[in-house]
Amino acid sequence: MNAGFGILASNNPANKSLERACQLMGINLGGCLWGIGCLERTGSMHWGTIFAENPDTPWETLNVHHGYKPDESILLSFGGKVELVSFQNIEPLNCETLEHNQPGTPAHAIAALRTGTNQKSAILLFTPDTAKYWANKYDFAATMREFQEWVWENVTWEADKWYKNYWFATRHLRSRYEGREAGTMQLNADHFDLPPDTMIPMFDSPDSVTIIVAGGSGDAWTWGFGRPRPISIDKWR
């Protein structure tokens, strides 16, 4: 698989062949019948995007991060509604210096992830060069967990936005939050009576923030929403 230059490009044979296989399995094994199991209004739903992690990372690789052996191959399976925007950093927040024009800053990532409206988990995808730059420049070099915790603590919404959010108010999500442990930062029943400007983390926990290093050389990063399920694939070999 291609873990470097052009991981998401349409002319990438290895990754795109696997992507097409995933699409066919979704249609034929998943029962995706036109107009029945596939109801996207605009036809924009895209299945099967697949790429490999680049091991040239300042943090532990994802298999080790999820508790597997260093030489064990795993698959991170993102299900449900997953969003991943194109590689860029200048739209969510203006860059203040030329140095930050390419690699951006953690503030850019926070601004980008705050655009989610009904998402409970996040994805940050970095090229190896940008991952190393951020890890050293902003003191995230210790572990991936430290970076996850920082993102979780800083991607927040005002309580008033939670109360008025469609998915929170009308889709019976409030009852799920009411059962959580009180006295924590995670959205729970204690937050419902707090002042409307109280800042509350948008995502469920630090574990709901997925950090991925993939792609070729140079500065680039992107973001999205979705939570993976790690699966060991060595037994399939």
Let me know: does 94 contact 180? Beta carbons within 8 Å.
Answer: no
Q: What is the pLDDT of residue 163?
A: 75
Check pLDDT > 80 for residue 232.
Answer: yes
Amino acid identity, position 67: G
Q: What is the pLDDT of residue 210?
A: 94
Q: What is the pLDDT of residue 220?
A: 87
Check pLDDT > 80 for residue 71.
Answer: yes
> Which of the pair, 41 or 113, is modelled with greater confidence?
113
d(CA 84, CA 113): 11
The angle at the Cα of 186, spanning 184 to 191, to the nearest 5 degrees, equals: 75
Query: What would the pLDDT profile of 174-202 be if each residue is shown by its tens digit?
Result: 666 666 666 666 666 676 677 888 888 88
Q: What is the pLDDT of residue 191?
A: 67
Q: Please tell me which of 5-9, 25-29, 213-217 the model is most confident about, judged by mean pLDDT.
A: 213-217
Q: What is the pLDDT of residue 148?
A: 94
Sign of the Cα pseudo-torsion (151, 110, 52, 79, in order): positive
168 phi, psi to nearest 5 deg: -75, -40
pTM score of the predicted model: 0.83
Q: What is the pLDDT of residue 91?
A: 61
> Which of the pair, 41 or 18, is modelled with greater confidence?
18
Q: Where are the domains of the chain?
A: 1-52, 53-155+202-236
Q: Which residue from 4, 53, 11 is spatially nearest to 217, judged by alpha carbons?
A: 4
pLDDT band at residue 20 using 50, 70 and 90 as cut-offs? confident
DSSP assignment of 136-153 equals HHTT--S-HHHHHHHHHH
Which of 75-89, 118-132, 203-217 bottoms out in mean pLDDT, i.e. has the lowest? Answer: 75-89
DSSP β-bridge partners for residue 126: 213, 221
Torsion of CA 173, 175, 176, 180, to 10 degrees: 140
Let me know: does 221 contact 103? Beta carbons within 8 Å.
Answer: yes
Torsion of CA 218, 222, 227, 231, to 10 degrees: -20
Query: What would the pLDDT profile of 135-186 be if each residue is shown by its tens digit?
Result: 999 988 778 999 999 999 999 888 888 777 776 666 556 666 666 666 666 6
**To the nearest whole number, what is the mean pLDDT of the chain?**
81
Check pLDDT > 90 for residue 11.
Answer: no
DSSP β-bridge partners for residue 199: 158
Percentage, residues of the chain above pLDDT 70:
78
Mean pLDDT of 42-71: 85
